[in-house]
């Protein structure tokens, strides 16, 4: 056992990072959001004031603060201020409805709720729908000119106040974040992350993702999502890199921001990279500063990866694979292997051990499909108030991802499908990703999603929704004919729908559950 003084001297938590970086690079630009520019010294000072305000409003260690807000410099401040105050931050997806938000407020037991002004109507509805009644402190992030409603504080008053937070001694494995799973399930789970989880994950990102203090990074994906918040923003503050904040991943705005700020580093899921490639300004935009590109959240189609390599020849690419419960990084495919091993999620990152297991949780040989499991200090502390699901997820001492995949002889991971996305048609397993990759080879395909629909004979049938490239003409018959030419007959889509867009959540993931619901009756006449 060490003494409290020794513990304090050894403390390394998420809340310490702005202060330590400010000590190294006080005058360097840390964050720019529109006209707001904060050096690292200024960022550390405003984090301190915000943490003091949290304490002044009665929030203590392990209390929860729910945050409903688009990307902004205030989001960055609150992320670190909560950790410095010992308060657990609960980011909320701003696309959720009032009932879904109410569930998160109730389940997390949030004592404070901070909301962007434009989202106040849904926040008020959510508060009215809560049953636990734990929220006692409310504040508004004023991103537009407007009045602060009665019963709410102005967050800017918190950021402008004098004072410093009282010292909080946090252990490495005290929770600092409660990240709710993306909501593809009916009831999302609150994954608890500690400073240990996050900071070992930062080290993996830095080393395997070749990140440095010289980076100028553009952040456009939602900060409520762990990929943007913890693979990139948190790492930038840790290293002393510069972060440029945009409210949303609009392709035209991304191209302009890369030009204006001489951005060197950018992360987006495949759907956003595809949007950039298809934008009319892509070939005329000055992207010469861009050196590092990262993708993740969903598989990158091999055809798109090859196109990116042709049209962005000076950009090194990394594939980051993981999940919320891994804080979130698990494996990385680096630049040297992008085209040699297209479609691979790479090898286990520096601080992660990854294996494939069968239904009895026994390891399987290379090339054999099974469930992907991990062992790492990145991993979640467990699901809040859900010991049963925590025990199930960590059975055998490994975190079970729920993804299916296999390892090749070189230890590279290939993700075959989510367990729930594997289509079982006529007794055969069909991996939706394999069919998607085949359809992407067809000229004129911009995006595709493959999923299973109920079928009276085959139990499930393969269905595909295809989005054509602008100006391209696609027919269901052409898609079926092409797929049959490259895949076995039982993998060929029985139903093809040509659509203008695919439903996605704000992190760019295609919502297959919604597609299954919308197209559930495709086989109704058979």
Q: SS3 for 7?
A: helix
Structure-token match 């608890």, residue found: 192
Structure token pair of residue 279: 């934008």
Q: How many CA atoms lie within 13 A of 256 on its CB side?
A: 8
Q: What is the mean pLDDT of residues 20-33?
A: 98
* Confidence band of 458 (pLDDT split at 50, 70, 90): confident
Structure token pair of residue 54: 């949290």
**Cα angle 433, 439, 441; round to 5:** 110
pLDDT over 60 at 152, yes or no: yes
* Confidence band of 459 (pLDDT split at 50, 70, 90): confident
The pLDDT tens digits of the residues spanning 369-406 come to 999 999 999 999 999 999 999 999 999 999 999 899 99
| Residue of higher predicted confidence among 415 and 230 | 230
How confident is the prediction for the chain on average, in pLDDT? Answer: 93
CB crowding 90-119: b at 16 or more within 10 Å, else e: bbbbbebebebbbbbbbbbbbbbbbbbbeb
pLDDT at residue 184, rounded to an integer:
42
Which whole-number Å values give the CA distances from 392 to 174, 381, 388, 395, 400, in the listed order? 22, 13, 6, 5, 8
The pLDDT tens digits of the residues spanning 464-480 come to 999 999 999 999 999 99
**Cα angle 384, 509, 291; round to 5:** 105
Q: 75 near 243, Cβ under 8 Å?
A: no
pLDDT at residue 427, rounded to an integer:
64
* Confidence band of 220 (pLDDT split at 50, 70, 90): very high
Range in 278-282, 291-295, 415-419 the model is least confident about: 415-419
Q: What is the pTM of this model?
A: 0.85
Decide: residue 410, CB within 10 A, 0-12 exposed, 13-18 middle, 19+ buried.
exposed
pLDDT at residue 91, rounded to an integer:
98
The pLDDT tens digits of the residues spanning 322-365 come to 999 999 999 999 999 999 998 899 999 999 999 999 999 999 99
Dist. CA 459–CA 144, nearest whole Å: 52
pLDDT over 70 at 174, yes or no: yes
pLDDT at residue 195, rounded to an integer:
98
The pLDDT tens digits of the residues spanning 79-134 come to 999 999 999 999 998 988 898 899 999 999 999 999 999 999 999 999 999 999 99
Decide: residue 156, CB within 10 A, 0-12 exposed, 13-18 middle, 19+ buried.
middle
Q: In the chain, what are the domains? A: 8-170 (3.40.50.980), 196-419 (3.40.50.12780), 422-518 (3.30.300.30)
Calculate the CA 309 to chain-centre distance.
Answer: 24
Structure token pair of residue 303: 């055809």
Q: What is the mean pLDDT of residues 34-60?
A: 98
């Amino acid at each position: 056992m060490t003494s409290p003084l020794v513990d304090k001297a050894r403390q390394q938590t998420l809340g310490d990072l702005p202060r330590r970086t400010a000590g190294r690079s006080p005058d360097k630009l840390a964050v720019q959001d529109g006209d707001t520019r904060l050096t690292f010294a200024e960022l550390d000072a405003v984090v301190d004031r915000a943490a003091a305000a949290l304490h002044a409003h009665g929030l203590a260690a392990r209390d929860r603060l729910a945050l409903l807000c688009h990307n902004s410099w205030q989001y960055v401040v609150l992320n670190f201020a909560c950790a410095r105050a010992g308060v657990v931050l609960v980011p909320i997806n701003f696309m959720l409805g009032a009932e879904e938000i109410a569930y998160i407020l109730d389940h997390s037991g949030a004592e404070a709720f901070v909301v962007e002004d434009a989202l106040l109507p849904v926040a008020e509805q959510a508060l009215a729908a809560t049953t636990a009644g734990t929220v006692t402190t409310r504040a508004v992030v004023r991103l537009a000119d407007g009045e602060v409603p009665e019963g709410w504080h102005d967050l800017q008053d918190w950021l402008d106040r004098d004072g410093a937070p009282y010292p909080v001694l946090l252990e490495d494995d005290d929770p600092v974040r409660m990240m709710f799973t993306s909501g593809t399930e009916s009831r999302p789970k609150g994954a608890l992350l500690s400073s240990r989880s996050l900071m070992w994950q930062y080290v993996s990102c830095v080393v395997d993702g070749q990140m440095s203090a010289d980076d100028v990074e553009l952040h456009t994906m939602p900060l409520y999502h762990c990929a943007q918040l913890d693979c990139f923003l948190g790492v930038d503050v840790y290293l002393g890199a510069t972060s440029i904040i945009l409210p949303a991943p609009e392709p035209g705005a991304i191209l302009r921001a890369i030009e204006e700020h001489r951005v060197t580093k950018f992360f987006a899921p495949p759907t956003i990279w595809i949007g950039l490639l298809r934008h009319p300004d892509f070939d005329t935009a000055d992207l010469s500063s861009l050196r590092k590109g990262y993708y993740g959240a969903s598989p990158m189609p091999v055809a798109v990866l090859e196109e990116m390599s042709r049209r962005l020849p000076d950009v090194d690419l990394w594939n980051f694979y993981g999940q919320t419960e891994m804080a979130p990084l698990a494996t990385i495919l680096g630049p040297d292997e992008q085209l040699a091993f297209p479609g691979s999620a790479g090898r286990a990152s520096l601080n992660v051990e990854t294996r494939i297991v069968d239904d009895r949780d026994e390891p399987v040989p290379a090339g054999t499909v099974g469930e992907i499991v991990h062992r790492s200090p990145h991993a979640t502390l467990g699901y809040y108030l859900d010991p049963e699901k925590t025990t199930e997820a960590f059975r055998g001492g490994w975190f079970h991802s729920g993804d299916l995949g296999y390892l090749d002889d070189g230890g590279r991971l290939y993700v075959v499908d989510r367990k729930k996305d594997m289509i079982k048609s006529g007794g055969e397993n069909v991996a939706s990703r394999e069919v998607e990759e085949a359809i992407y080879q067809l000229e004129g395909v911009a995006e595709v999603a493959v999923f299973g629909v109920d079928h009276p004979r085959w139990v499930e049938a393969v269905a595909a929704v295809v989005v054509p490239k602008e100006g391209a003409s696609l027919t269901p018959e052409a898609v079926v004919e092409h797929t049959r030419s490259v895949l076995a007959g039982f993998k060929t889509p029985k139903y093809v729908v040509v659509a203008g867009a695919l439903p996605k959540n704000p992190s760019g993931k295609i919502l297959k559950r919604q597609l299954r619901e919308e197209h559930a009756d495709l086989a109704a006449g058979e």
